[in-house]
Amino acid sequence: MKHAVIALAAFLAVSTGFAQEKTDTVKVGNFVIIKKNASGSDSKETRIQNDDKFINIKINTDKKKKKKNLSTNWWILDLGFANYRDETNYATAVPGNAYFRQLNTAAGPVNSNSYRLNTGKSSNVNLWFFMQKLNVANHVLNLKYGAGLEMYNFRYDSRISYRKDINNMPYVFNDTVAFQKNKLYAGYLTVPVMLNIDFTPNSRKGFNMSAGVSAGYLIASRNKQESGERGKQKFKQNFDMEPWRLAAIAELGLGPVRLYGSYSLNTLQKNNTRLEQYPYAVGVRFSNW
């Protein structure tokens, strides 16, 4: 009987809570039901008292927290692989072009094999200072933008070398040394802008996708080489590289996993070099959204 009365009292407490009655105290037999609202909240707490025994019942009717229209993600890291699509016609690009030089007959002229990459060791590492997501429509359609550093390391499986002559003119040639490590580094200060579609805006475990463009400015480039004959060498120059980089970019998110891709819409080097190499990268992005 006692349990039945307690159950009835609890039922009355819940019922009166949802009905939002103004009565603060309800008495049922020997039981006293005391209701109170949490300050600044829709949550209701009910205490059932029988002599010296108490039963507390809390009804949480707080409204779901509203999503912010603008959210910021700090210090995002990308780890990926780099490569390029080489559309250069070396038969017409090399002859009569001072950018391509042959310093040693045995090394041969520069050709497509001179730019052969070690794809497993050519990397792309990006460090974004921040990215922001601006709600456009119901948090399903968003605008994403940010700023950061894009860093490309093109690892060559060849003897290609980048230098500048006494007149400060950049050129490339096939060296006579067999390098253990030979890579070209290019670093850009970049601003990406993307449209984002979030199919499950109220869940972090859903699917979302983004696509857009990025604009980057070349802030550093160098040719780093390592060999038994010369040791470690670094040549920090521009090497007639295109100062601006415009790229098509995309991002796919499935739960906590995010993949990114970037494809350059302009060439890596300036037009006067006659090289037509279009860098691209794919990898994993470590971010909150």
State pTM to two decimals. Answer: 0.78
Give the pLDDT confidence of 151-160 residue by residue, as tens digits.
999 999 999 9
Percent residues over pLDDT 90 in the chain: 70
Architecture of domain 70-286: Beta Barrel (2.40)
Give the pLDDT confidence of 134-170 residue by residue, as tens digits.
999 999 999 999 999 999 999 999 999 999 999 999 9
Three-state secondary structure along the chain?
CHHHHHHHHHHHHHHHHHHCCCCCEEEECCEEEEEEECCCCCCEEEEEEECCEEEEEEECCCCCCCCCCEEEEEEEEEEEEEEEEECCCHHHHCCCCCCECCCCHHHCCCCHHHHCECCCCCEEEEEEEEEEEEEEECCCEEEEEEEEEEEEEEEECCCEEEEECCCCCEEEEECCCCCCEEEEEEEEEEEEEEEEEECCCCCCCCEEEEEEEEEEEEEEEEEEEEECCCEEEEEECCCCECCEEEEEEEEEEECCEEEEEEEECCCCECHHHCCCEEEEEEEEEECCC
Question: Domain ranges in the chain?
Answer: 2-59, 70-286
- The stretch 238-250 carries a mean pLDDT of 97
Q: Given pLDDT bands bounded at 50, 70 and 90, which one contains residue 65?
A: confident
